Amino acid sequence: MRQNLGDTHLSGLQLDRPPGPRRALRLRLYRGPTGRDHRYERQGAIGCSTAGSRLHPCLQRQFCAARRTRTRIESAPLAPDLRRLDAPKAFELRNVGVRFDGFPALLGLNLEVRRGECLAFVGPSGSGKTSALGVLNGMVPPATGSVRIREVDLSSIGVSAIRKLRVEIGVIPQDLGLVPNVRVYQNVMAGRLGRQSFIGSLRRLIRAPRRELQEVMHFLKRLGIENKIFQRTDSLSGGERQRVAIARSLYQGANTILADEPLSALDPARARETLALLVDIARENHMTLVLSMHDLALAREFIPRLVGLKNGAVLFDRATGDISPEEFEELYNLESKERHG
């Protein structure tokens, strides 16, 4: 961890736990505003409560938060690994690099996603999660490498063909992409704008056919918000708006959902409920689900495969149960330089 405390920077805090009631505390501080830092290291056998009382209050808060986070991650149940490795590929990225304004956002990303698979990109802000989702959606062109969607190399087809591929991909952006001052059913029906003519889409949004309203109602009922169908979207809670965005992807008829931080605006209870619902819907409909997430405990509980991104590079890509707590700690080291994500 790195925390600016005037002319003092917290570089590392390690608590070793030998057997017995006493604890060995090792605290490293790097002091000095510029140039060479001078290391101060102290180690001794002291009780946990005594150690906490001697620390700077800010350091104590950081230490306790880190310990709680690790305990929460380690105690979270693990998602079952239900991947079908023989399923056709939904996405294939080979040595993909992305740059924004000369700065690298992704560095040599290699990734295979099978149809019906559920995985999440995890990592600190600016690690490249949003950029990776943009590449999968065909919205962010790579500077290097190749991208294949359902076995089709994007570099070998034109813009119109890429648009047709993207019709099968439902995207839930961080801001959800909903129009606030229209009705819920109109936001859901907007999911098929890419499949219909512009004039035809406007007619349906203004005066929806009964059959299509019934279809919208079906998805809203599955998500538990069927009574909101005629309400303005800006009157809904954060969790309800999240469900409208999910319903839009389902109504779109997508075979893939890409969700960028879908839980960021939700309280812990609502976040868990929403993620469980999203994963269940994807499995029931044999959809491919790729998310970006910050909550590692929820990711371990519901997502069978995690891809850790740090500074645009892959730190790990394995089944959730095979990733150690030490790797998670390395992933979220606050000394890493943030990049465009």
The 3-state secondary structure of 101-168 reads CCEEEEEEEEEEEECCCEEEEECCCCCCHHHHHHHHCCCCCCCEEEEEECCEEHHHCCHHHHHHHHCC
Among residues 75, 98, 116, the one where a domain terminates is: 75
pLDDT band, very low/low/confident/very high, at 297 (cuts 50, 70, 90): confident
Res 188: pLDDT: 92
Q: What is the pTM of this model?
A: 0.70
pLDDT score of 336 more than 90: no
Res 144: pLDDT: 93
| % of the chain with per-residue pLDDT over 70 | 70
* 136 in Cβ contact with 125 (< 8 Å): no
Please report whether residue 153 resides in a domain.
yes
Res 40: pLDDT: 34
Res 84: pLDDT: 57
Higher-pLDDT residue of 37 and 107 is 107
* Mean pLDDT to the nearest integer, 220-248: 90
Which of 134-143, 187-196, 216-225, 329-338 comes out lowest in average pLDDT? Answer: 329-338
Whether 13 and 115 map to the same domain: the answer is no
Res 72: pLDDT: 54
Q: Report the number of distinct structural domains present in the chain.
A: 2
pLDDT band, very low/low/confident/very high, at 258 (cuts 50, 70, 90): very high
Whether 118 and 235 map to the same domain: the answer is yes
Res 122: pLDDT: 93
Pairing of strands 169-172, 256-260: parallel
pLDDT score of 36 more than 60: no
Whether 48 and 152 map to the same domain: the answer is no
Please report whether residue 82 resides in a domain.
no
Euclidean distance between CA atoms 259 and 281, whole angstroms: 14
Res 203: pLDDT: 74
pLDDT band, very low/low/confident/very high, at 333 (cuts 50, 70, 90): confident
Whether 57 and 134 map to the same domain: the answer is no
Phi and psi (nearest 5°) for 221?
-65, -40
Higher-pLDDT residue of 73 and 310 is 310
Whether 154 and 223 map to the same domain: the answer is yes
Where residue 232 sits, what CATH number does that domain have?
3.40.50.300
Two structure tokens written together for 195: 């499949």
Whether 114 and 224 map to the same domain: the answer is yes
Among residues 75, 104, 139, the one where a domain terminates is: 75
Res 90: pLDDT: 94
Please report whether residue 337 resides in a domain.
no
Res 79: pLDDT: 54
pLDDT score of 3 more than 70: no
pLDDT band, very low/low/confident/very high, at 50 (cuts 50, 70, 90): very low
Whether 97 and 13 map to the same domain: the answer is no
Among residues 75, 102, 136, the one where a domain terminates is: 75
Please report whether residue 247 resides in a domain.
yes
Euclidean distance between CA atoms 215 and 187, whole angstroms: 13
Whether 168 and 255 map to the same domain: the answer is yes
Q: Who contacts 194 (Cβ-Cβ below 8 Å, separation ≥6)?
A: 163, 166, 167, 252
pLDDT tens-place string over residues 107-161: 999 999 999 999 999 998 888 999 999 999 989 999 999 999 999 999 898 888 8
Whether 14 and 149 map to the same domain: the answer is no
Whether 189 and 310 map to the same domain: the answer is yes
* 302 in Cβ contact with 79 (< 8 Å): yes
Euclidean distance between CA atoms 98 and 113, whole angstroms: 19
Res 132: pLDDT: 95
Range of the domain at 242: 89-331
pLDDT band, very low/low/confident/very high, at 17 (cuts 50, 70, 90): very low
Please report whether residue 251 resides in a domain.
yes
pLDDT band, very low/low/confident/very high, at 98 (cuts 50, 70, 90): very high
Please report whether residue 245 resides in a domain.
yes
Please report whether residue 237 resides in a domain.
yes
Please report whether residue 84 resides in a domain.
no
Whether 34 and 157 map to the same domain: the answer is no
Res 82: pLDDT: 52
Whether 241 and 100 map to the same domain: the answer is yes
